[in-house]
Amino acid sequence: MLKGKRVFISGGNGVIGKELVDLLFKEGAILFVGDLKSRPLSWSSKIKYRQGDLNYITKEELEDFAPEYFFHLAATFERSVETYDFWYENHKHNTSLGTHLMTVLKDSPTLKKIINCSSYLIYDPKLYYFETPSQEAYSLKEDDPIYPRNLTGVAKLQHEIELRFLEGFNSEKYKSVSARIYRSYGKNSRDIVSRWIRMLLNNETLTVYKKEGLFDYVFAGDVAEGLLRLAATKEAEGVFNLATGKAQPVSRILEVLKKYFPEMKTIEKDIDIPYEGSEANMDKYEKVMGWKPQHTFADTIPHMIEFEKKFGYEDDSIKDSANVMITSISKKIPLIKSVQKAAKKLGSHVAIFGADVDENCLGQYFTDSFWKMPRISDLTLDSVIEYCNSNKIKAIIPTRDGELIYWAEQKQALKDAGISVLVSDIEAVNICLDKLLFYENCKSKDFKVIQTSMDISVIAAEKFVVKEQFGAGAKSVGINLNKEEAQKHAMKLSEPIYQPFVEGVEISIDLFVDSNNLVKGVITRTRDKVVNGESQVTTTFEDKELEKICEDVAQTLGLYGHAVLQVIKDSKGVIHIIECNCRFGGASTLSVASGLDSFYWFILEASGVDIKDYSFIRANKQIKQIRFPDDTYLFI
C-alpha cells in the first residue's frame, strides 16, 4: 500500500509501532523511526533510526528525510489511575510532543498524510461507566459526546483539534486522520494479557479486579494493519474508531488462559472504580475501508504464549542513561549547557557531573554534581574508575589541553571499564599539542600548513608570529613582529617556535570524527573578534574546498571526537593551516547551534549506538555568535 513511500514514525519501537514497522518494511516503504528506546537489534540497517526525545527533533532533520506519511504513535500513559507525577510526563510526551512534531512538519513540502493515534479515552465516561456490572457494552460512535476522562484523553483530544486546525490551512497539501484506539495488547507488552501470561509461566497467582468489566481488546498487529489502511485509503480523513467492535469481559481472558494453564490460580480483589462497559462502533471504519480487525483471544493468546516461551520478556522500558562528567569546567558555562542540551535529547535523565581542581570554580553551579578532582599529576586510574562507577558515569569530556595526554593514555583502560572518553588516541594528541610536530606531520602529507621552526633564520619573512611549541598558549603569543621583536619576545617563552606572519582572514573549523574514523560534519567560521586567543564574535560560512581539506587532515591524523583547526586565508585565497586543537573550543558552541551535534553523537556512541543514521544537517542560515558575560540566579 505504501511501497516506495517515505514514512516517518514517532514511537515506532512500541508494541504497535513494531508491528507497523514490520508491515511497512515488508511492503517496501522507506522508513525513519524515532523513539526513546534503543534500536531493536533485529531491525534492518535500511531502517533509519533516531534514539532520543522527539521534542528535540528539528525541522531540518525531518526536511532532510522528506517524509510523505507521518504516523504519530509516540505517547505516554498509565494503565489505571494516573498518578500525581504523571502531570509532567503527560505534558512533555503527550501534549508538548504532538504540538512540537506538527510545528516542525506543518510546512513540509513533501508531507501528504498524517495518521494520528488517538484514544477512546476522549469520550465521556458517563456513556460507558456503570455502578454495577453491565450485560452489554456501550457502542461508542465517533460523534458521541466528548469529555476526556483523564490527562491522556485530554492530550489526545487536543492533538485531534490541532490537526483539524492545521488542515484547515493546508488541506491542499496534506490530509490527517485520527484513529481512536481501544484496549490494544500484543507481544512483549505491559498490557494485562501479556503480564498474566508471564506470571503464569512463572507459576504465579493472578490478581483479578472486576472481571465482569467489558473492554474492546484489539491485537496490536490488527491496530497496525488498521493504521496502514487509513494511510493508504484516500477517502480516510477525520476521526475513526479502531478496535474489534465487540467487547469482551475480563473473565474471557481468564477462560482462554485456563486452556493453556490448567493449574492457573487467581485471587479476586475489589477496587474502588466503576465497572467499564465500552466497545467501538466500527460502522464508519468498515464502510470506508471494507475491513475491520478480526483476531480474538483464541487466535492470539497461543502465539503470545509461544513468543514469551521462546524469547522471554525484554524489559524495554525507558531507563536513565549513563551520566556524563565534564573535566576542568572552570567557568565554561556555554560548554556545560551544550552538554546538558545534548543529554536532554536522549529523553531520559542524564546527570551532568562537573570536575575541577578549583573547589570554588563557577562551573559547579551549573552541573548536577561537582567533584573537586585531584590534579592530573595526582589522578590515578583507579580513583577515576571508582568515582565513575559509584556515580554511574559512562562518558567523560575533557576540556583543557593540559589534561588531554592523561586522558588519551587512559582511554583504552577506561573503555575496558565501560567508560568512554571524548579524546583522540595518544599519537594524534601528541601531534596536535606539539605545533612543530604538527607542522612536520602535515607537511609530509602535502597539506598547506604554515611553516614552523625553532630557528627563526630558516623562515623567509619580514614579519613573524612567536608562540609556545606546546599547548594553546594564546595569551603569550606574539603577532606581526619584526625579527628583532620576535627574538626578544621568544625570550619570555619556555619553548618558543616561529612562524611567518600571514595577513588574512582568521578561520576556525569545527569538525566531529566518529568512532569509525569518519568525519561526521564540518562547520567553518570566521574569527571576527578575538580576545586572549578565543573568538568573542564568530560567524559561520560555507567553503566546500576548505571543509574537504580539514576533513582530510582530521582523518589523516586519526582524530576522534570534536576538534578545531585554525587557518589563515590570505588575500589571494590561499589556505595556510596553523594548528589543530583536538578538543571542544571556547566558541565551538556556535558549531553545535549550526548542526554539528558533537556532544549528542558522543553520548550516543558512549551508549553503544552506531551513529550512522544520525545525519549532520547544517542550519539553513549562517549564524553569528557573540559571547558575553551573563547573570544567573539560584534559589537556595
CA 256/CA 248 separation, integer angstroms: 12
Shared domain for 212 and 75, answered yes or no, is yes
Considering the domain boundaries, does residue 216 fall inside one?
Answer: yes
Q: Give the pLDDT confidence of 123-174 residue by residue, as tens digits.
A: 999 999 999 999 999 999 999 999 999 999 999 999 999 999 999 999 899 9
Q: Which domain holds residue 511?
A: 429-450+502-626
Instruction: Say which residue, 68 or 608, is predicted with more confidence.
Output: 68
Distances (CA, A) of 15 to 20, 187, 299, 559: 9, 7, 18, 41
Domain CATH for 327: 3.40.50.20
Report, as an integer, the average pLDDT of 355-384: 96
Given a cut of 70, is residue 315 above it in pLDDT?
no
- For residue 208, give the H/E element and its range: strand 206-209
* Confidence label for 348 from pLDDT (cuts 50, 70 and 90): confident
Residues 543 and 622: beta-carbon distance below 8 Å: no
On whether residue 433 sits in a domain, the answer given is yes
User: For residue 458, which amino acid is it?
Assistant: V
Number of residues in the chain: 636
Highest mean pLDDT out of 427-441, 475-489, 528-542 = 427-441
For β-strands 464-468 and 369-372, DSSP reports them as unpaired
CATH number reported for the structural domain that contains residue 102 in this entry: 3.40.50.720
- Does 412 fall in a domain? yes
pLDDT at 349: 83
Short-list 267, 217, 284, CA closest to 246 = 217
- What is the percent of the chain with per-residue pLDDT over 70, rounded to a whole number? 98
For residue 317, the model assigns a pLDDT of: 55
Residues paired with residue 71 on neighbouring β-strands, in sequence order = 9, 115
Predicted pLDDT of residue 636? 85
> pLDDT-derived band of residue 623, with 50, 70 and 90 as boundaries?
very high
Mapped onto helix, strand or coil, the DSSP state of residue 49 is strand
Residue 328 sits in the same domain as residue 382: yes
List pLDDT tens digits, range 20-63: 999 999 999 999 999 999 899 899 999 999 999 999 999 999 99
CA distances from 376 to 328, 414, 603 (A): 10, 15, 24
pLDDT digits (tens, 9 = 90+) for 261-292: 999 999 999 888 899 999 999 999 999 999 99
Q: Does the pLDDT at position 296 exceed 80? A: yes
d(CA 631, CA 621) in angstroms, rounded, equals 29
Q: Across residues 550-575, what is the average pLDDT?
A: 96
- Residue 531: is its pLDDT beyond 90? no
Task: State the Cα–Cα distance between residues 499 and 454, nearest whole angstrom.
Answer: 9
Write down the pLDDT at residue 1.
85
Domain check: are 434 and 570 in the same one? yes
Asked which of 247, 280, 311 is the last residue of a domain, the reply is: 311
DSSP 252-266: HHHHHHHHH-TT--E
Instruction: Mark which of 251, 279, 311 sits at the end of a domain.
Output: 311
* Whether residue 22 sits in one domain with residue 133: yes
Residue 281 is assigned to a structural domain of this protein: yes
User: What is the pLDDT averaged over residues 289-304?
Assistant: 95
Residues 262 and 345 occupy one common structural domain: no
- Residue-level pLDDT at 127: 97
Instruction: Look at residue 321 in the predicted model and tell me its pLDDT.
Output: 64
Whether 435 and 303 map to the same domain: the answer is: no
**160 and 20 share a domain?**
yes
Domain endpoint, select from 276, 311, 346: 311
Q: In this predicted structure, what is the pLDDT of residue 319?
A: 57
CA distance 619 to 270: 57
CATH classification at residue 621 = 3.30.470.20
Percentages of the chain per state (helix, strand, coil), in multiples of 5: 35, 25, 40
Residue pLDDT, tens place only, 205-259: 999 999 999 999 999 999 999 999 999 999 999 999 999 999 999 999 999 999 9
**What rounded mean pLDDT belongs to the chain?**
94
> Residue 322 above 90 pLDDT?
no
Cα torsion 432, 438, 443, 448 to 10°: value is: 60
Report residue 77's pLDDT band, with 50, 70 and 90 as the boundaries.
confident
Q: Are residues 17 and 137 in the same domain?
A: yes
Task: Judge if 379 and 261 occupy the same domain.
Answer: no
Q: Is residue 633 part of a domain?
A: no
Specify the number of domains making up the chain. 3
Specify the DSSP class assigned to residue 3: T
CA distances from residue 180 to 226, 616, 625 in whole angstroms, order as listed: 11, 36, 46
51 and 173 share a domain?
yes
SS3 351: coil
Confidence class of residue 532 from pLDDT cuts 50, 70 and 90? Answer: confident
Residue 10 lies in a domain: yes
pTM: 0.90
520 and 620 inside one domain: yes
Q: What per-residue confidence (pLDDT) applies to 424?
A: 97
Kindly state whether residue 214 falls inside one of the protein's structural domains.
yes
Average confidence (pLDDT) over 413-440: 97
Quickly state the pLDDT bin for 347 (edges 50, 70, 90).
confident
Residue 146 domain-assigned (yes or no):
yes
Three cell numbers at 132?
454495577
Based on the domain organization, do 199 and 103 belong to the same domain? yes
**Is the pLDDT reported for residue 596 higher than 60?**
yes
Average pLDDT over residues 383-396: 97
Cell readout for 175 is 490530509
